[in-house]
Chain A
Amino acid sequence: MNAITVEGLCVKANNRHLVENISFSIEEGSIVAIIGPNGAGKTTLIRAVLGLIPYETGSVLMFGKPFKHNNSHARVGYVPQKIEFDRTFPLTVLELLRFTVPPFYSLPFRDRSGEERINSLLKTVGMQDLINRSIGSLSGGELQRVMIAKAIVNDPHILFLDEPASGVDIEGQERFYDLVRRLNKENGLTVILISHDLNIVYRFADNVLCMNRRLICTGKPAEALTDEVIKSVYGEMMGGYIHSCHEHD
């Protein structure tokens, strides 16, 4: 079954197309990478699919039904590229994760719901010792790991990751993508991942969706990302890079 079906999606801002007539489908349980140069509309596409920004035309279905934020048939987790928040916000890791756990209308300071699940997830992402730390004091890598724990705390069907490991050291990136792969294999989680790192795309993605406002190609990374495609999307400089990724793979 298709986890996501997008048909003819167009997003406009100031009479300019940010995403133009994009159609694709993503199979349940797969990891799909979205690649493209800066300004290609990758984040806009994800935000439109998630209903965070309006789209001009087109349709988005999740598991065959239109996506609504409070639908239980398609729970989604989202790790944005950059989390905009006040660093002095006196919010602990535990309190942040509790935001996501129902019930929403209980007295939050007496709320013990989901505590076991939260503890186990923080252990999975290696953050169990930082449960009472203020989120503003976390490093980029620590925050990303907390955000992925937060994104999966409610057992989502689909996980959207927008350059989730940007600003994270190499070791942290490895741990992060290993975790994503493990969740995909063990829980059948569908993962949609935006990444600039072709190496990561080759190693972790089942399929790739290459775009530059329009869809350029789609398919398995080794087949879809030809030298010509990479050159046309990223320019001449990236032509040789593709071979090193193949070799690494």
Chain B
Amino acid sequence: MNTISEFLAYPFIQRALMASIMVGMLCPFVGNFVVLRRMSFFSDAISHAAFAGIAAGALLGIDLSLSSLLFAILIAILIAFLSEKTTLSHDTVIGVAFSGAIATGMLIIGMMKGFRGDIFTFLFGDILAITSMDLLLIFLFSLLTITILLVFLKPLLYITFNRDLAQIEGINVRLYEYLFFVIIAVVITVSLKIMGIILVTSLLIVPAASAKNLASNMKSLFILSCTFGVASGVLGLMASIYLNTSSGPTIVLVSIWIFFMTMLKKK
């Protein structure tokens, strides 16, 4: 059996490890807001919007990452707009967008001829197929997103706690809501190649939910969630290499194991 150092000598393993560390920090950082605001269903809708974007990109012959990003942002803004402007509940709007995105994606894929492996990479994710360019993009988007979130952390947390009170203090709630929805769309799209459309929201939700089980204040929530996210990514990747299993599901199962451990500790 190969040792860890032997595995780490392979450039694709090095890239996968770096990607798992970056996404392991980025997703739970944003995921804290998703969990605190009970928006898990929203993030699912966005990942499925990205699926429609990937299908549209494949049909039109444009870059799949770009088309998925555009669709994800478009659907995120549409959900925010409809929730704000209509009397429909947030859940209903998300449900409509979710179904619409899946149907659009499936319709387009059904129209295409032949097997498209690149589409399936996005559907199920493949961390071992990450290129140097992918890694650079993940790094840049992670840096940008975390910087924006850190600068606006106070108003974003205040809105998460109570919208009305934040608004009275002069915080532009509407602007921050849209900003946050766009950030979720970006983070999901950036993580798609690693986790896949089906599993990407688990890396947003599970480490943040685990941290919430243990955290006593906001600082510990952010530190713990990122620690759990990175641990899930690295341990999951290593386990998948040793056990010869798919990386994405293994990473998610490790994060769920951590979640149950924190549940026990909480009790």
B158 touches A99 (CB 8 A): yes
Tell me the complex Cα distance, A90–B154, Å.
14
Using a CB-CB cutoff of 8 Å, which residues 186-230 of chain B contact chain A? 212, 215-222
Tell me the complex Cα distance, A76–B169, Å.
8
Tell me the complex Cα distance, A105–B150, Å.
8
Q: What residues of chain A lie closer than 8 Å to B154, measured between beta carbons?
A: 98-99, 104-106, 108, 111
B217 touches A95 (CB 8 A): yes
B218 touches A52 (CB 8 A): no
Tell me the complex Cα distance, A221–B265, Å.
56
- Shortest beta-carbon distance from B134 to chain A in Å: 30
Tell me the complex Cα distance, A77–B188, Å.
38
A105 touches B212 (CB 8 A): no
Q: Mark A100-117, 1 if CB is under 8 A from B, else 0.
A: 100011111101000000
Chain A CB within 8 A of B107 CB: no
Q: What residues of chain A lie closer than 8 Å to B157, measured between beta carbons?
A: 91, 99, 108
- Shortest beta-carbon distance from A10 to chain B in Å: 20
Chain B CB within 8 A of A69 CB: yes
Q: What residues of chain B lie closer than 8 Å to A106, measured between beta carbons?
A: 154
Q: What residues of chain A lie closer than 8 Å to B167, measured between beta carbons?
A: 51-52, 69
Report the nearest B residue to A109, measured CB to CB: B219
Total number of B residues with any Cβ neighbor in A under 8 Å: 30
Chain B CB within 8 A of A170 CB: no
Tell me the complex Cα distance, A98–B150, Å.
15
Report the nearest B residue to A154, measured CB to CB: B169
Using a CB-CB cutoff of 8 Å, which residues 218-265 of chain B contact chain A? 218-222
B151 touches A78 (CB 8 A): no
Using a CB-CB cutoff of 8 Å, which residues 44-98 of chain A contact chain B? 47, 50-52, 69-71, 76, 78, 80, 83-86, 88-92, 95-96, 98
Tell me the complex Cα distance, A88–B155, Å.
19
Interface majority SS (helix, strand, loop, mixed), chain B: helix
B38 touches A95 (CB 8 A): no
Residue of A52, A90, A104 with highest tally of chain B CB at under 10 A:
A90
Q: What residues of chain B lie closer than 8 Å to A111, measured between beta carbons?
A: 154
Q: What residues of chain A lie closer than 8 Å to B36, measured between beta carbons?
A: 86, 89
Asked if A69 meets B162 with Cβ closer than 8 Å, knowing A105-B154, A107-B153, the reply is no
Using a CB-CB cutoff of 8 Å, which residues 132-161 of chain B contact chain A? 150-155, 157-158, 160-161
Q: What residues of chain A lie closer than 8 Å to B220, measured between beta carbons?
A: 90
Q: What residues of chain A lie closer than 8 Å to B106, measured between beta carbons?
A: none
Q: What residues of chain B lie closer than 8 Å to A86, measured between beta carbons?
A: 36, 38
Tell me the complex Cα distance, A50–B166, Å.
12
Tell me the complex Cα distance, A215–B202, Å.
53
A90 touches B158 (CB 8 A): no
Tell me the complex Cα distance, A104–B164, Å.
16
Chain A CB within 8 A of B168 CB: yes
A85 touches B155 (CB 8 A): no
Chain B CB within 8 A of A134 CB: yes
A70 touches B170 (CB 8 A): yes
- The one of B38, B170, B217 in contact with A91, judged by C-beta atoms closer than 8 angstroms, is B217
Report the nearest A residue to B215, measured CB to CB: A90
Asked if A108 meets B153 with Cβ closer than 8 Å, knowing A90-B212, A90-B217, the reply is yes
Q: What residues of chain B lie closer than 8 Å to A91, measured between beta carbons?
A: 157, 161, 217-218
Asked if A100 meets B169 with Cβ closer than 8 Å, knowing A88-B212, A107-B150, the reply is yes
B162 touches A85 (CB 8 A): yes
A84 touches B162 (CB 8 A): yes
B165 touches A78 (CB 8 A): yes
Asked if A92 meets B170 with Cβ closer than 8 Å, knowing A104-B154, A108-B153, the reply is no
Residue of A83, A85, A88, A108 with highest tally of chain B CB at under 10 A:
A108
A104 touches B216 (CB 8 A): no
- The one of B161, B171, B218 in contact with A85, judged by C-beta atoms closer than 8 angstroms, is B161
Tell me the complex Cα distance, A107–B217, Å.
15
B221 touches A96 (CB 8 A): no
Tell me the complex Cα distance, A107–B151, Å.
6
B168 touches A134 (CB 8 A): no
Q: Supply 14 A–B pairs (Cβ within 8 Å), ascending by A.
A: A69-B167, A83-B162, A85-B161, A85-B162, A88-B212, A90-B221, A91-B157, A91-B217, A95-B217, A99-B158, A99-B166, A104-B154, A106-B154, A109-B222
Q: Which residues of B contact A (CB under 8 A)?
A: 36, 38, 150-155, 157-158, 160-162, 164-171, 212, 215-222
Q: Would you list the 6 A-B pairs with minimal beta carbon distance, nearest first?
A: A70-B170, A90-B215, A99-B158, A69-B170, A109-B219, A92-B217
